């Protein structure tokens, strides 16, 4: 799809934020955040609870309007774009609290994502069977993410880890250029963590991934670039090895890790 | 509907459930066809009008998750539009109803554009305020004839040759319009568009993050619900041959909420039963000494407390309903 010849040499920047800030009342939840997210790279956003990571996601995807700063997606200024438009432009997010359609089955969840790009979302006069032609693609995604046996299970009845996997499957159904994952592995068992890490590594071969993650061994393992946030500000940046040596970062966040 | 179950046992029960559903629907249809020969036809026609009204309202509440407190504007408004078109302009009944629907659609579009971005209780309040504005417009306006209402609306001849002054003819016309309305609602709910409505109801933010312009889908659902409500309102004007302020009051908006909750939101047939119960109660209590509103209020409270999903919803969720393969969530 979007893989270009130059990806190995200098991956292009697909998402940038400059001077991004958000205040709630008088409280600055995010201030002066600069980010460059690259194609075919996994970029981690880490930091203690309440640091402002989810708020940054909400700003980038325009679920919240930034108080200051500018956001560019694939060369287009999206600072004043609506969130659904941002999604259509190719940046799709997941949510920290798993976001599935609970009373729809796994297959239906994925198909809802496929309906819009397939131009099958506004037809109120067609029967549901008109969506059958999306089954093949939906089933491929479900199989790829190891949900085959849950195809007809209602999303509400899935385990927590599988709900997260379903969310990723639904997100991938849109084939986004930029993927934002908010704590995709929180609350998962060791085995699921491995599987999801592999999935993310695989999907990032052709897309940019920005993820919030608390599991630092996963960050060390799969992320190319790390940005550390504390009290809404960036206090460190670089690859995992250098960031984890930074003394501000160590005292603020990682001190608890070793 | 086809993938609602996790275990094979429930899946095996499916053909049985759909056969049962078909059986129930055919029985209901047979009863409706035979009913005018046993029951008072005007009562039955009133019941069908309100059943369609409640089902159209439920398209919004049950399938989109929006609580409108202003649907009387579409119901009563369409009654005026149809009445005026038939009486003053001499439209045939079928065109009169279509015009009532078109008028309700325009009203729905205007109200929807103003209200649709509000959430929850604010949406209910704005729709209430807008429908009250429409009520005062109806009080002032000359074409509604104010307190007197629009009287002696002729039923006319369907397609120019079926005389609807004949009660039996009229009944079957009302039944046909009702069935067409229900079929339209069924189609909308079970369509690609209906799937998106369901997903918006289930998780609005997720739907946005998948690129759906949620407000537009909600607006479309709102206009569809208003239009189908107009179908019921126009029909009612022809049945009773008058259109009055009663149908545009906020109490009418409340009544349809009551009917829908009583029968069960999120099921197609629930509001029909809810409307049946309310209209029947009103009809029998009207001739007795009991105060109608208090009795319906008490029945409503009892039902909401005892049957959270509404009567039909509770039946679907009950052991019997489940063993027959009904899925209470759909
Ligand atoms: N909508 C909001 N209104 C007010 N305060 C908020 C809102 N969203 C987040 N915050 C505050 O902003 C800070 C950052 O929150 P968040 O972005 O969720 O942190 P993280 O995801 O890093 O744990 C917290 O102090 C939180 O209470
Ligand atoms: Mg967070």
> CATH number of the domain that A38 lies in?
3.40.50.300
| Portion of chain A with pLDDT greater than 90, in percent | 71
Mean pLDDT of A168-194: 90
- B150 forms beta bridges with B243
pLDDT for residue B147: 78
Asked, for residue B272, whether it belongs to a domain, the answer is no
Least confident of A78-87, A180-189, A194-203, B151-160: B151-160
Domain of residue A131: give its range: 99-175
Phi, psi of A91 (to 5 degrees): -115, 115
Nearest CA in chain A to B184: A125
Q: Identify the residue whose C-alpha is closest to ligand 1 atom 17.
A: A52
Rounded to the nearest angstrom, the gap between the alpha carbon of residue B57 and the centroid of all alpha carbons in its chain is 5
Mean pLDDT of A194-220: 91
Taking chain B, what is the end-to-end CA distance rounded to the nearest angstrom?
A: 7
pLDDT for residue A2: 42
10-residue stretch averages of pLDDT, chain B, 330 residues long: 40 64 85 83 93 96 92 96 92 94 97 91 92 92 81 83 85 95 95 96 94 96 97 95 89 89 84 90 77 73 71 72 60
pLDDT for residue A57: 96
Q: Identify the residue whose C-alpha is closest to ligand 1 atom 18.
A: A54
One domain for residues A46 and A77: yes
One domain for residues A195 and A154: no
Q: Identify the residue whose C-alpha is closest to ligand 1 atom 7.
A: A24
One domain for residues A193 and A239: yes
One domain for residues A213 and A255: yes
The answer to whether A141 and A110 have CB atoms below 8 angstroms apart is yes
Strand-by-strand arrangement of the A233-238 sheet: A91-93, A178-182, A208-212, A42-46, A225-230, A233-238
Q: How high is the ipTM of this complex? A: 0.89
- Residues of A with CB below 8 A from B214's CB? 84
Of B188, B208, B220, the CB nearest to A84: B208
The answer to whether B269 and B187 have CB atoms below 8 angstroms apart is no
Cα(B295) to centroid(ligand 2), Å: 51
- A152 to chain B, any CB pair closer than 8 A? The answer is yes
Domain of residue B169: give its range: 41-249
What is the domain count for chain B?
1
Of B11, B203, B211, the CB nearest to A99: B203
Asked, for residue B149, whether it belongs to a domain, the answer is yes
Tell me: pLDDT of A42 over 80. yes
* CB-based contact B192 A113, cutoff 8 Å: no
Cα(A46) to centroid(ligand 2), Å: 10
pLDDT for residue B153: 85
* CB-based contact A121 B11, cutoff 8 Å: no
One domain for residues A81 and A190: yes
One domain for residues A110 and A169: yes
pLDDT for residue A244: 82
* CB-based contact B192 A157, cutoff 8 Å: no
In Å, how far is B191's CA from the nearest CA of chain A?
5
Q: Which residues surround ligand 2, an ion (CB under 5 A)?
A: A 53-54, 96
One domain for residues A124 and A78: no
Which residues of B fall below an 8 Å CB-CB distance to A? Answer: 1, 3-6, 11, 187-188, 190-196, 198-199, 202-203, 205-214, 220, 224, 329-330
- In the structure, what pLDDT confidence band is assigned to residue A160 with cuts at 50, 70 and 90? confident
One domain for residues A24 and A69: yes
Alpha-carbon span B187 to A127, nearest angstrom? 7
* CB-based contact A174 B210, cutoff 8 Å: yes
- A36 to chain B, any CB pair closer than 8 A? The answer is no
One domain for residues A86 and A7: yes
pLDDT for residue A110: 97
pLDDT for residue B286: 73
pLDDT for residue B143: 82
What is the domain count for chain A?
2
Output the average pLDDT for chain A. 90
The pTM for the full model equals 0.88
- A212 forms beta bridges with A45, A182
Cα(A243) to centroid(ligand 1), Å: 24
């Amino acid at each position: 799809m979007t893989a270009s010849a130059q990806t190995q040499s200098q991956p292009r920047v697909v998402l940038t934020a400059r001077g991004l800030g958000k205040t709630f009342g008088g409280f600055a939840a995010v201030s002066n955040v600069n980010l460059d997210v690259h194609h075919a790279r996994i970029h981690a956003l880490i930091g203690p609870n309440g640091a402002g990571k989810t708020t940054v996601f909400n700003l980038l995807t325009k679920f919240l309007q930034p108080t200051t700063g500018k956001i560019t997606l694939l060369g287009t200024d999206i600072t004043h774009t609506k969130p659904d438009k941002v999604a259509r432009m190719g940046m799709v997010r997941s949510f920290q609290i798993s976001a599935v359609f609970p009373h729809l089955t796994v297959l239906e969840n994925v198909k809802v994502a496929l309906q819009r790009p397939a131009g099958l979302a506004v037809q109120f006069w067609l029967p549901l069977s008109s969506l059958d032609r999306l089954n093949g693609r939906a089933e491929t995604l479900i199989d790829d993410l190891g949900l085959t046996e849950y195809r007809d299970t209602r999303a509400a009845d899935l385990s927590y880890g599988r709900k997260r996997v379903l969310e990723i499957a639904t997100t991938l159904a849109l084939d986004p250029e930029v993927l934002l994952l908010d704590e995709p592995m929180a609350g998962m068992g060791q085995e699921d963590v491995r599987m999801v890490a592999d999935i993310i590594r695989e999907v990032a071969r052709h897309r940019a991934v920005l993820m919030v993650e608390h599991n630092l061994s996963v960050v060390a393992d799969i992320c190319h670039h790390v940005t550390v946030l504390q009290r809404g500000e960036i206090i460190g940046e670089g690859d995992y090895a250098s960031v984890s040596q930074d003394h501000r970062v160590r005292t603020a966040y990682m001190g608890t890790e070793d | 509907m086809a993938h609602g179950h996790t275990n094979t046992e429930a899946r095996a029960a499916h053909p049985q459930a759909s056969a049962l559903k078909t059986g129930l629907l055919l029985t209901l249809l047979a009863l409706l066809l035979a009913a005018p020969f046993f029951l008072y036809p005007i009562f039955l026609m009133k019941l069908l009008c309100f059943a369609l009204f409640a089902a159209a309202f439920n398209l919004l509440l049950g399938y989109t998750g929006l609580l409108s407190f202003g649907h009387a504007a579409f119901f009563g408004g369409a009654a005026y539009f149809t009445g005026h078109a038939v009486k003053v302009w001499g439209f045939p009944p079928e065109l009169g109803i279509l015009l009532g629907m078109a008028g309700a659609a325009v009203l729905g579009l205007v109200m929807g554009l103003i209200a649709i971005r509000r959430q929850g209780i604010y949406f209910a309040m704005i729709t209430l305020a807008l429908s009250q504005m429409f009520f005062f417009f109806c009080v002032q306006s000359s074409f509604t004839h104010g307190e007197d209402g629009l009287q002696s609306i002729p039923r006319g001849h369907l397609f120019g040759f079926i005389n609807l002054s004949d009660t039996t003819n009229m009944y079957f016309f009302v039944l046909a319009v009702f069935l067409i309305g229900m079929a339209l609602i069924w189609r909308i709910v079970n369509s690609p568009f209906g799937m998106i409505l369901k997903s918006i109801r289930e998780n609005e933010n997720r739907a946005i993050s998948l690129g759906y312009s949620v407000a537009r889908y909600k607006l479309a659902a709102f206009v569809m619900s208003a239009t189908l409500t107009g179908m019921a309102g126009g029909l009612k004007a022809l049945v009773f041959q008058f259109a009055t302020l009663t149908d545009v009051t906020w109490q009418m908006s409340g009544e349809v909420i009551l009917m829908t909750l009583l029968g069960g939101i999120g099921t197609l047939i629930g509001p029909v039963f809810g409307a049946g119960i309310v209209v029947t109660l009103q009809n029998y209590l009207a001739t007795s000494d009991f105060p109608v509103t208090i009795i319906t209020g008490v029945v409503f409270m009892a039902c909401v407390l005892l049957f959270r999903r509404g009567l039909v919803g509770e039946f679907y969720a009950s052991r019997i309903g489940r063993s027959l393969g009904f899925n209470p969530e759909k």
